[in-house]
Structure 1
Amino acid sequence: MDLASRLFKGDRVIWVIFMFLCLISVIEVFSATSTIAYRNANYWMPIIRHASFLLMGFAGVLILHNLPYKVFIGFGLFLPIAIFLLAITPFVGVEINGEPRWLEILGIRFQPSEVAKLSAVCYMALVLSKRDKLTDAQMFKYILIGIGLACGFIFFNNGSTAILLFTIMVMMMFIGQIKVLRIFKLLGVCVAALVLLLTVLFVTPDSIMNYMPNRFHTWKARIERFSSSDDRLDTKEGKVLTLDDEHYQEDHAKIAIAQGGLLGKKPGHGQQRDFLPQAYSDFIYAIIIEEMGLVGGFFVLFLYLALLIRVAMIARRCHTLFPKFLVLGCGLLIVTQALVNMAVAVGVFPVTGQPLPLISRGGTSTVISCVYIGIILSVSRFGANIGNEEDQLPEEKQETSETTLPGVSKEEIDNWVPDVDSGKKEQLSE
């Protein structure tokens, strides 16, 4: 117990949530990667790869939660470099699944968009913490320029990630007390741009659409599938659902959820993992419900909501602005992305391609998600002073446990001697 207390410092609740998510990740990714295991000579390789990234992320958490939160100011200053990496990715990036979203430097392959999200959160926290030095208009301008550039470069390769980052930016500006009128004006411009984009997608003739980027076709197809009200039940054959290529992933995700029941089929016994192309990533929540039932699905949802609530409690205990906004940004990013992924899996949101943080199989996304946890734990220690009991000396603990009076020093209390004869006490000097 003493070893655990010395090793795992900071908020204990965050540690418990983090370990539960990692445990679920190992179990469900091992089950959901069965199709990949069949294609490998070593069927242990898919889970070994994922476990390696989780261990790397876990080691990162152990390191980061021992660093003072002021170190993460450097992550915010890294944003211009992250924007540069985003700008060159379409030209020199590694293409996987038809999209050049990865860069490879010195043999290390990573997604610049994940690095940009981390830098953007730290950058927003840094700008919002300068309220005593910057005006409201200046903070709004700096955030809009920095995050706007990042979102712009991300958008054409990964629209859902750009929208997610923009949503976090709006929430943090609202929490940071940027004037509501400025935020509403920004939202109005974005809604107008979105309407214009949808008009272009659905009004432009196919002959012209063929010359547009591939992402335009992907967005149009996803929106059409989600908004389609066609009844695909073949009534001539006894109401049999006809599975087509257009709705392949969504249909198998719904089948997985329907087969899960209350307690599920138990890990390793799911069937839809063999049919869903992204069973271990985008649709892993459907596999969780199939194998762990509604109980498991609600438990995973509870873990993310508990994480958000705990992050809010940590932020309330912070005495300075930077750690307060930093921990809120990290928590909002993890939980919002998780809710989007789960909404896609259950069919209430269009397919976005967002993984389930800390659970889905991945490389960069898994490590960066662990970095968010490390930052949250660092803020809990050095910003909110949670979990530092083991660092205090015994005499310090005794002093802090003694009863004190507001505005009265310990020396004054020690000099307060009762008058035994009269039964009265000398009054403290003003």
Structure 2
Amino acid sequence: MNNKAIGNIFKGDKVIWMVFFFLCMISIVEVYSASSSLTYKSGNYMAPVIKHIFILCFGVFTMICMLKVKCKYFKIATPFMLILSFLLLIWVVIAGQATNGASRWINLVGIQFQPSELAKGAVVLAVAQILSAMQTDHGADKRAFKFILSVCSIFVFFIGIENLSTAMLLCITILCMMIIGRVPMSQIGKLLGFCFIGIAIIFTLVMVVGKDKNEMPQADNTLTEQVGKEKEEPSAFDKTFHRADTWKSRIDKFLNSKPVAPEDVDLDKDAQVAHANIAIASSNVIGKGPGNSVERDFLSQAFSDFIYAIIIEEMGIFGAFFVAFLYIILLYRAGSIANRCENNFPAFLAMGLAILLVTQALFNMLVAVGLAPVTGQPLPLISRGGTSTVINCLYVGIIL
């Protein structure tokens, strides 16, 4: 009877539950190891990991709650989720709290909340509903393409103002969902053409408007001439594109990356990339063992954006492949679930959420090993976080 009761609570795909369990165990170990900077600030070496475990437990609670919700209620919730996400995105643009130069956070009753995480799920819900409602024997109705673009373009724009990488990953997810949903390839081909043109325009604007922070002149006589002058208020244009400097710096650093002799590496200028490379190189294939990282003390955001580099340093190449393999299994099992669905909506929803999680994980890994420009994307279900961890757990619960 007890086993039956436990089975009712933890129902769903057992393989996904195992994947989630392994990701959580790796997360707890690596966050505990990589949070040395937080430990130093708080003076309590257990506080960061205890908080992380509490957030994971709350995430598991949301998963179990999602298991009890029927798919038809997700359909009903879609318009409300879209409206709420839109209002929160407007709020964060106008009065969001800045972290690392980006206003991505809202403070609700002392809790920092990232609206873009909720908005991603709302968009996936909307796309799944549009695709399922407009399926025909020959694929999706041509009008589905227009409806998807109408809904998604608004959210992608507002997310992209402060978090360009998140907006791009969301676009990839939407594109994959349209391909799975059998949207006519002629429409997808035209969309890709416009996307390439749009990317070229955005890239040009960033390179023209932005100023590479690494190339800005140091304090000199020209600065002393400005003493006594009032600082000019930033224009509306500057406020809108205030992230262009950061984007240009990252693009320049990635495109101009050349082999640098160890003695010529500037650890102050390229700290994140340099220490991530050191962490990977010093793993010696087999790793140093859990808790034995050295670079965690020097690598900024070691517990979040660059936790994969710490995983490689401590668990070696085999540990890195194991983590990547877990995400592949998650995507594969989501595909199996989609194939077994009797209706289109849950199938598209499961695949959309799985693609959303896996593409973010892949991009985080590429950044950690130096194959993509540095961004602020955490590793889903492993990196230390608040909003992202709970909502990612919620997404897994919906898949289950």
Q: Show the 5 A alignment for 1:268-347.
A: 268-347=291-370
Distance in 1 of aligned mates of 2:324 and 2:209? 40
Aligned length: 371
1:119 to 119, 122, 126: 122
The equivalent residue for 1:160 is 165
1:221 aligned onto 2:234: no
Residues 206 and 217 of structure 1: is their aligned pair in 2 closer, same or farther, counting only changes over 3 Å? closer
Distance in 2 of aligned mates of 1:2 and 1:95? 48
Deviation for aligned residue 1:178:
0.8
Residues 135 and 64 of structure 1: is their aligned pair in 2 closer, same or farther, counting only changes over 3 Å? closer
Larger displacement relative to structure 2 (219-228 or 73-82): 73-82
Distance in 1 of aligned mates of 2:30 and 2:186? 45
Letter in 2 for 1:217: D
1:353-399 Cα distance to aligned partner (Å, 9 max, x none): 1100000000000001001110011xxxxxxxxxxxxxxxxxxxxxx
1:89 to 67, 89, 92: 92
Distance in 1 of aligned mates of 2:132 and 2:290? 45
Deviation for aligned residue 1:196:
1.7
Residues 36 and 204 of structure 1: is their aligned pair in 2 closer, same or farther, counting only changes over 3 Å? closer
Letter in 2 for 1:225: K
1:242 to 259, 265, 268: 265
1:253-277 Cα distance to aligned partner (Å, 9 max, x none): 1111111123211111100101111
Contact 1:151 1:166 in 2 (8 A): yes
1:175-204 Cα distance to aligned partner (Å, 9 max, x none): 111111111111211211211222233345
The equivalent residue for 1:36 is 38
Q: Please state whether the residue corresponding to 1:292 is helix, strand or coil.
A: helix
Residues 7 and 251 of structure 1: is their aligned pair in 2 closer, same or farther, counting only changes over 3 Å? same
1:188 aligned onto 2:216: no
Q: Please state whether the residue corresponding to 2:243 is helix, strand or coil.
A: helix
Larger Rg: 1
Contact 2:210 2:244 in 1 (8 A): no
1:174 aligned onto 2:179: yes
Distance in 1 of aligned mates of 2:210 and 2:386? 39
Q: Please state whether the residue corresponding to 2:282 is helix, strand or coil.
A: helix
Distance in 2 of aligned mates of 1:198 and 1:364? 30
Residues 205 and 307 of structure 1: is their aligned pair in 2 closer, same or farther, counting only changes over 3 Å? closer
Distance in 1 of aligned mates of 2:269 and 2:167? 24
Residues 45 and 259 of structure 1: is their aligned pair in 2 closer, same or farther, counting only changes over 3 Å? same
The equivalent residue for 1:374 is 397
Letter in 2 for 1:367: V
Distance in 1 of aligned mates of 2:269 and 2:146? 42
1:232 aligned onto 2:234: no
Deviation for aligned residue 1:206:
5.5
Contact 2:287 2:316 in 1 (8 A): yes
Distance in 2 of aligned mates of 1:215 and 1:205? 8
The equivalent residue for 2:222 is none
1:23 to 25, 30, 44: 25
Distance in 2 of aligned mates of 1:61 and 1:136? 33
Deviation for aligned residue 1:75:
4.2
Contact 1:75 1:123 in 2 (8 A): no
Contact 2:327 2:361 in 1 (8 A): yes
1:300-349 Cα distance to aligned partner (Å, 9 max, x none): 01100011111111111111100110100011011111000001101111
The equivalent residue for 2:219 is none
Contact 2:211 2:245 in 1 (8 A): no
Letter in 1 for 2:129: L
Letter in 2 for 1:260: S
Distance in 1 of aligned mates of 2:7 and 2:209? 62
Residues 206 and 159 of structure 1: is their aligned pair in 2 closer, same or farther, counting only changes over 3 Å? closer
Letter in 2 for 1:15: W
The equivalent residue for 2:48 is 46
The equivalent residue for 1:405 is none
1:143 to 143, 148, 160: 148
Contact 1:100 1:157 in 2 (8 A): yes
The equivalent residue for 2:57 is 55
The equivalent residue for 2:286 is 263
1:132-156 Cα distance to aligned partner (Å, 9 max, x none): 5997232112211111100000111
1:112-136 Cα distance to aligned partner (Å, 9 max, x none): 0000001111111111110259972
Deviation for aligned residue 1:232:
2.6
User: TM-score under structure 1 normalisation?
Assistant: 0.82
Q: Please state whether the residue corresponding to 2:253 is helix, strand or coil.
A: helix
Distance in 1 of aligned mates of 2:181 and 2:346? 12
Distance in 1 of aligned mates of 2:210 and 2:111? 42
1:202 aligned onto 2:225: no
Contact 2:305 2:383 in 1 (8 A): yes
Contact 2:59 2:389 in 1 (8 A): yes
The equivalent residue for 1:8 is 10
Contact 1:225 1:246 in 2 (8 A): no
Distance in 2 of aligned mates of 1:50 and 1:311? 26
Give identity over the alignment, percent: 46
Structure 1 residue runs of 5 or longer lacking an equivalent are 234-238, 378-430
Q: Please state whether the residue corresponding to 1:260 is helix, strand or coil.
A: coil
Contact 2:135 2:141 in 1 (8 A): no
Aligned CA RMSD, in angstroms, stands at 2.1
Letter in 2 for 1:176: G
Contact 1:289 1:296 in 2 (8 A): yes
